[in-house]
Amino acid sequence: MTLTGVSAAVGRVLSRDKTSKRVLDKSSTRPEKNSATHQILEQLEHGNISKAVSLLFPSLEPVSYWLYERLLRSCSSKSLVVQARKVVSHLVTFSPLPPIFLLNRAIEAYGRIGCANDARELFEQMPERDGGSWNALITACAKNELHDEAFRTFVRMSRDGIRATETSFSGVLKSCGFVLDLRLLMQLHCSVVKHGYSGNVDLETSIVDVYGILRWG
């Protein structure tokens, strides 16, 4: 799809509104002293992220979801690509149906460390998605300068009946600043207002900034 086609598609679908539900389960229990969880946490507390990730595999069993989330956050904070991939691999291997929120965290982590293709591949493999899944991929694409892909994902999300949020618009507005498409920016601006986000300072600032780039660029 060309950028012009994307712009037209955005205009057709921006007005469609449906809500999505997200259920987060971050419950945890106190780990036993000699358990894999305890050992992993101990390494994380000392800043040994690679060692912590390596302790996942000898146990040959899943760990609590909250620990996977913490590992992903730690890997992304230090841009540890290999370790992030290992965490995701362990998750999908030992937990055939991981919760959506955790896969969303994995997509976010991939986006932060520059692995947009990994993020997109994981997204496409998800049996179910929610609004957070779409937002995570849009943000990952925008952050890694895959601007056409960010717009296409935004269009797909809308066509699937997922209502755009501040996060959705933030991602595509960031990409709009690079593709310099006035028509697309105007469509997004109207949609931001229509969705009730005109009072969002960050979005309004982004819109003004992109208009400025288009005027003076």
Could you give the angle at the alpha carbon of 127 between the alpha carbons of 150 and 5, nearest 5°? 30
Q: If pLDDT is split at 50, 70 and 90, which confidence band does 4 have?
A: low
Which region, left, alpha or beta, applies to residue 32 given φ > 0 means left and ψ of -120 to 50 means alpha? Answer: beta
Tokens 């469609």 map to which residue?
16
Q: Which CATH architecture has domain 3-11+34-164?
A: Alpha Horseshoe (1.25)
**83 pLDDT above the threshold of 70:** yes
**13 pLDDT above the threshold of 90:** no
Contact 150, 138 (CB under 8 A): yes
DSSP states along 124-165: HH-SS--HHHHHHHHHHHHHTT-HHHHHHHHHHHHHTTPPP-
pLDDT per residue as tens digits for the range 86-138: 999 999 999 888 999 999 999 999 999 999 999 999 999 999 999 999 999 99
Please state the domain extents for the chain.
3-11+34-164
What pLDDT was estimated at residue 180?
82
Contact 95, 62 (CB under 8 A): yes
